[in-house]
Amino acid sequence: MSNKIVGREGESLACEYLKAQGYKILEQNFHNKLGEIDLIAQDGQIICFVEVKTRRSLNQGQPYEAVNPFKMRKLSLMATSYLKYKYRSLEIPSRFDVISIVQDKTGSPRIQHIKNAFDSMY
């Protein structure tokens, strides 16, 4: 199974997980010239920019460990762009979450939701 397929399956699982937790999904795979945000969701009054990382094993570490400073900076830029475009304001309460999913051969996926995983780099 390709990494792209595993990633898309992980994003679907994350979406269902967030809905079950009471989040409203605003965007899936939001694209602009800067890149892509996997999920944008609303938790009460807070806009959550969610990076989903999925792996089939822990051979290369936990999925969330792949969210490095470069990725954090890029997500920060994307979030700023989204807030300006959608709400015409940067004063909207927001945060960055990471959903880490391990889909190994044991059966059901293990989902770890890290709320407020990092601060905006802008």
Q: Is 104 a residue whose pLDDT tops 70? A: yes
Q: In sequence order, what are the beta bridge partners of 53?
A: 100
Element (H, E) at 79: helix 69-87
Domain ranges across the chain: 3-118
7, 12, 87, 74: which is closest to 45 by C-alpha?
87
**3-118 placed in CATH 3.40.1350.10:** yes
Q: DSSP secondary structure string, 1-38?
A: --HHHHHHHHHHHHHHHHHHTTPEEEEEEEEETTEEEE
Categorize the per-residue pLDDT at 1 as very low, low, confident or very high, splitting at 50, 70 and 90: low
What pLDDT, on the 0 to 100 scale, is given for residue 115?
98
46-55 and 94-102 beta bridge pairing: parallel
Residues of the chain with pLDDT > 70, as a percent, come to 98
pLDDT (tens digit per residue) in 12-54: 999 999 999 999 999 999 998 889 999 999 999 999 999 999 9
pTM: 0.94
